[in-house]
Amino acid sequence: MHTHNVNVKTATRKTPERFSQVKIYNVIAEQQSLLLRLAGLWNLQLSQEEEEEEVSMLVLQLAENVRLYGVTDWSCKKPKILWDIACFWIQAQKMAISLYEMKGARAVEYARSELADFLTHEKYYRDRESATA
């Protein structure tokens, strides 16, 4: 039995559902942490370039988590996204624009574009794959 997949208290294997639920909770915690970092970034007195880079990195990571862990159903016309993960991405967009103005708007536009491109491509390939199966 592998120790990475074992409940130490009862020495039983975690079920796949339980394991995925723990992963979702970890992603939600990371989303909260990234949002808090974005909110407090302006206090760090970074240079303009450093601040823009950090804002962009945080916003992009929030979108990346939606992309990697948020999609729950690809069978619909538009993929269904888990609200518990996506809500932080939505808040981050508003926050980035209101706190960091043009730097935030550029970061949000880039992250939105990346997320939309991925979802479009992934949906296309999944639909194509299911049509040939």
**Interval 59-104: pLDDT, tens:** 999 999 999 999 999 888 889 999 999 999 999 999 999 999 999 9
Say which residue the tokens 């990234």 belong to.
34
Helix axes 83-132, 48-65, angle to 10 degrees: 60
Which pTM value belongs to this model? 0.81
Three-class SS state of 11: coil
Q: Residue 16: its pLDDT value, please?
A: 54
Question: Could you read off the pLDDT of 43-54 as tens digits, one per residue?
Answer: 999 999 999 999
Q: Where are the domains of the chain?
A: 3-132
